[in-house]
């Protein structure tokens, strides 16, 4: 048995996409045709992702989690036994880490544990939101629905993170290439020109003197500078993950123009979608707030949500709690407090939160597109100015010297 994704046309001419378990492509093709569908394509799904959010070691990647949850939902809905479903996922996975973890999960399930209990034994790989939504689904008898919601939640997280990451790749590559070219020029090209300038019996422009000084400095301390930059980058990355430095860095993210908008919208999208999904899955609001606080990446927002979760135990409404915490760098805009209040009054809080999540996810998408559009020309102009100054600083003294020689 395997899981296949298919594309087909309905009798009404509408394009339909879906996933279904079958023994092979031919059988699935016959099943779909018997349902009146015109099959366009059928492909076997593999539990892997070509693109991942990060190079993480010893942890199941987000892309693999999305595929795992989606495929598990399909198999549970098809009536396949939990143990067999996990076994199929294990066989289909192309990730060694996923196969190892699923083997342990399968062993626990066959030993009598619930799926939530088996996943809880691996907190490093399965975050609280997965464990709690699976547990709520098992207790309420609607596991497949919760798995569907969870797959949507994780997929949205994956897409938003991917957009932010992709927006930063191109500017990062340009800056890195510019720095490398600058180092190469200062170590190998400029020293030859310095000898030429030393032979000139004339006053050099200030920019030319700066270039000569920089070349001499890099010749003498270049190795130390490069090693120092490398150590500094690694040191900052390590320090940024510590509980002492991380809050300050995350505060800076929420104060830098434009970056703050992306960071704030990203975290508010995560907050509203996670909380809405948890509430829709039947998890009590106090517990849902605690789980949501741990899924938000910015420490400033996480600390506020942890405070709100504690205060919610006193019976205070969520809209009042959010309104009380509107200020500060980790703010909750009026649109969230007002919409939350409307959701509480109408009894549709989870639906309202998911609607607000769509709004902020669209904002992140818009910001990341604009970020690329704005940063790209700024970086190119800055590099062009730098190259222009360097070229003029080199050419101008040579031009002056040849002019004097002509006289």
- What is the spatial distance between Cα 108 and Cα 219, in angstroms, rounded to a whole number? 62
Look at residue 404 in the predicted model and tell me its pLDDT.
65
Contact between 357 and 273 (Cβ < 8 Å): yes
pLDDT of residue 225: 84
> For residues 264 and 335, is the Cβ–Cβ distance under 8 A?
no
Spatial distance between the Cα atoms of 358 and 344, rounded to a whole number of angstroms:
19
**pLDDT score at 342:** 92
Angstrom CA distances, 97 to 59, 89, 204, 258, stand at 7, 13, 62, 38
Q: What is the per-residue pLDDT for 238? A: 87
Helices (H), 185-258: 190-198, 206-240, 246-253
Residue 93's pLDDT is 81
**DSSP letters along 157-171, please?**
HHHHHHHHHHHHHHH
| Count of C-beta atoms within a 10 Å radius of residue 327 | 8
Looking at residue 46, its pLDDT comes to: 56
pLDDT along the chain (407 residues), means of 10: 73 77 72 81 60 47 85 86 89 85 90 87 86 82 84 82 77 80 78 72 77 81 86 86 84 84 88 88 87 86 90 89 83 89 91 91 82 77 83 78 64
**Beta carbons within 10 angstroms of residue 172's beta carbon:** 12
The pLDDT score that the predictor gives to residue 55 is: 33
CA distance 99 to 111: 18
């Amino acid at each position: 048995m395997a899981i296949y994704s298919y594309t087909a046309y309905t009798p009404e001419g509408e394009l339909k996409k879906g996933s279904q378990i079958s023994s092979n492509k031919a059988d699935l093709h016959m099943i779909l045709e018997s349902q009146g569908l015109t099959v366009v394509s059928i492909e076997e799904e593999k539990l892997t992702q070509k693109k991942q959010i990060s190079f993480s070691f010893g942890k199941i990647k987000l892309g693999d989690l999305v595929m795992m949850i989606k495929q598990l939902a399909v198999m549970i809905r098809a009536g396949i036994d939990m143990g067999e479903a996990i076994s199929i996922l294990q066989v289909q996975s192309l990730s060694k880490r996923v196969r190892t973890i699923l083997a342990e999960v399968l062993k626990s399930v066959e030993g009598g544990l619930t799926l939530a209990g088996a996943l809880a034994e691996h907190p490093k790989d399965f975050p609280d939101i997965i464990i709690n939504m699976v547990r709520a689904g098992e207790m309420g008898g609607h596991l497949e629905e919760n798995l569907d919601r969870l797959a949507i939640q994780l997929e949205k997280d994956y897409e938003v993170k991917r957009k932010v990451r992709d927006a930063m790749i191109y500017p990062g590559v340009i800056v890195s290439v510019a720095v490398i070219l600058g180092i190469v020029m200062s170590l190998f090209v400029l020293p030859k020109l310095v000898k030429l300038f030393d032979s000139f019996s004339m006053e050099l422009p200030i920019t030319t003197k700066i270039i000569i000084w920089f070349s001499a400095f890099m010749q003498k301390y270049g190795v130390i500078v490069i090693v120092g930059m490398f150590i500094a980058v690694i040191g900052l990355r390590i320090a940024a993950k510590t509980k002492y430095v991380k809050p300050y860095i995350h505060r800076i993210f929420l104060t830098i123009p434009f970056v703050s908008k992306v960071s704030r919208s990203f975290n508010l999208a995560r907050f509203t979608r996670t909380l809405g999904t948890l509430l829709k899955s039947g998890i009590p609001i106090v517990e849902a707030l605690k789980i949501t606080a741990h899924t938000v990446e910015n420490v400033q927002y996480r600390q506020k949500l942890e405070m709100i979760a504690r205060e919610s135990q006193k019976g205070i409404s969520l809209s009042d709690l959010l309104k009380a915490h509107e200020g500060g760098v980790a703010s909750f805009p009026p649109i969230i407090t007002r919409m939350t209040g409307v959701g509480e009054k109408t009894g549709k809080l989870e639906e309202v939160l998911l609607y607000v999540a769509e709004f902020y996810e669209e904002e992140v998408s818009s910001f990341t597109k604009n970020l690329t559009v704005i940063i790209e020309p700024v970086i190119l102009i800055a590099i062009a100015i730098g190259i222009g100054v360097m070229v003029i600083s080199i050419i101008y003294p040579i031009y002056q010297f040849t002019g004097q020689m002509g006289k």
